[in-house]
Chains A and B, each alone.
Chain A
Amino acid sequence: MEKLLKLDKINAGYEHQTILKDINLEVKKQDFIGIIGPNGGGKTTLLKVILGLIKPFSGKIDYFFPGDFKDSRTFIGYLPQQVSFDKKFPISVGEVVLSGLISSGRKSTKSNSELNILLEEILNKLGMTDHRNTSIGELSGGQIQRVFLGRAIISQPALLILDEPDSFVDNRFEHELYEILRQLNETMAIMLVSHDIGTVSSYIKTIACVNQSLHYHPSNSISSAQLKVYNCPIDIITHGSVPHRVLHEHK
């Protein structure tokens, strides 16, 4: 399958602290990779390296742009873990979604009516059509997440990166979100960081465990024993027809 991205022996971190060591990873078209690992293990750092927000200390990233993309960042759509923004900032839902087209990286420039149709389409997909002119500060947490997802996908990126998109949305939207992602995956590769591997496991296709090093697991089921080998101590997971988790005892 067509390659989009290749990380080769990446070492990265902040200031003097190395967080990621010797990372190798290939992302291909139609991939849906779940990234798991303990807090502080470097999941977000990995995303930032791929996005070009952090320069790696050493190693190499290769991007393979399909046809009409011309630079590394513009072919990636990104939904950050927590967008901190000013609730009073004078910007509407429609404007935030359209800001996903801010980059001049795409060659085709669209007319206003084309933009309008595109925006309607995205808002419709996210169930936000009625909120086009609503101020961003008037939305609920789940709605805000939808708007930022809209911003990430309006440029029709080849790769969509999501950092714990389920961390502050309501349950109802969580399910809808993964259904939307499943549809999007038909046209774009997806990398998804999640702490809740139980819920996402039926949607993702492969798993990458990140805890300083990265272990790629080419299927969507993983056992506790494998996680141990991968040095990836997280709570999970048993698989069956219905994914479920074993929780701690109530006290």
Chain B
Amino acid sequence: MMNGIIEIFGYQYFVNAILASSLTAISCGIIGSYIVAKRMVFVAGGITHSSFGGIGIAYFLGLNPILGASVFALLSGIGIERFTKKADIRNDSVIAILWSMGMAIGIIFIYLTPGYAPNLMSYLFGNILTVNTADILFLFGLSVLVLLFFSLFYKKILFISFDEEYAKSQNIRVELFNYGLMILVALTIVLNIKIVGIILLISLLTVPQNTANLFTKNFKKIIIYSIVIAFIGSVSGLIISYYLNIPSGATIIFNLILIYLLVRLGKRLLKL
């Protein structure tokens, strides 16, 4: 077994996958903590799924799918932030419309694209083993950006998320922060699609955070624990998927949920 593990680290694609997992853990750990604390999980789901429209159009035009996904994710993120402040349409309805519109556009354009779309499944379900050097560089840049933003503005992010109205009364540029954070959410989603795919991404943004929340109610600690838990879950999921020869994305997610359930159970047993 040990030899086997050492052996798989000899493969470049496997090393890439481990690197990607750690970078994913950082960006999703931080952004997910924000999403969970602010109860924006449905928003994140909407942005993730709407980005499929961009992937479809990019396929049709022969462009880089991640570029298309970025445009759609950013537009829907900004759209949600904008429309949720207006009273004439319900917040969750806006999200559902963008969510399904993106999926519909994606399906139509992929259908219209001549020939077979070989990587399509990897966008829906992810494939961490296809991650290349460029992907890792992008994920690295994103992690640095997110880390920097949250270390510089940690207190402001916490206080604005807790009580927007009060922050406004104190002359804080709440809207600017909210848009900035929405852009980081959209970028995090897009760049992590390749790891676990559109359909499963939401759990990287919520499951480690809820596991962390079982240990602590401090926002900073939730962030740090989420990163560690996401990393452990991803790497162990990756190794398990390799040995059992099952899809990596699904294994990682299942693993994260298993960790959550075990921690919950363990906590309850220890209390008794």
Contacts and interface: CB of A to CB of B under 8 A. Distances in A.
Given A78-B166, A83-B166, A90 B159 contact: no
Interface string A198-225: 0000000000000000000000000000
Given A90-B217, A102-B155, A102-B156, A83 B170 contact: no
Contact of B170 (A85, A91, A105, A135): A105
- Interface size bracket, A side: 20 to 34
A92 interface: yes
Given A95-B158, A99-B159, A90 B213 contact: yes
Interface string B208-239: 00000100111100100000000000000000
Interface size range on B against A: 20 to 34
A68 to B, nearest CB: 15
Given A71-B171, A86-B39, A103-B170, A92 B162 contact: no
Nearest to A83: B163
B168 A90 contact: no
A85 B169 CA distance: 16
Contacts of B219: 90-91
A6 B104 CA distance: 57
Given A99-B159, A105-B171, A90 B222 contact: yes
Nearest to B167: A102
Nearest to B33: A90
Given A90-B217, A102-B155, A80 B166 contact: yes
Interface string A53-81: 10000000000000000010110101010
B106 to A, nearest CB: 33
A195 interface: no
B169 A73 contact: yes
Given A90-B213, A90-B222, A102-B155, A85 B167 contact: no
Contacts of B165: 53, 80, 83
A126 interface: no
Interface in A166-220: none
Consensus secondary structure, chain B interface: helix
Nearest to A138: B217
B37 A74 contact: no
B168 A53 contact: yes
B172 interface: yes
Interface in B182-229: 213, 216-219, 222
B218 to A, nearest CB: 6
Contacts of A105: 170-171
B156 A90 contact: no
A19 interface: no
A151 interface: yes
A102 B172 CA distance: 8
A51 interface: yes
Contacts of B39: 86
A90 B218 contact: yes
B30 to A, nearest CB: 14
A102 B159 contact: yes
Contacts of A98: 155
A96 interface: yes
A82 B218 CA distance: 24
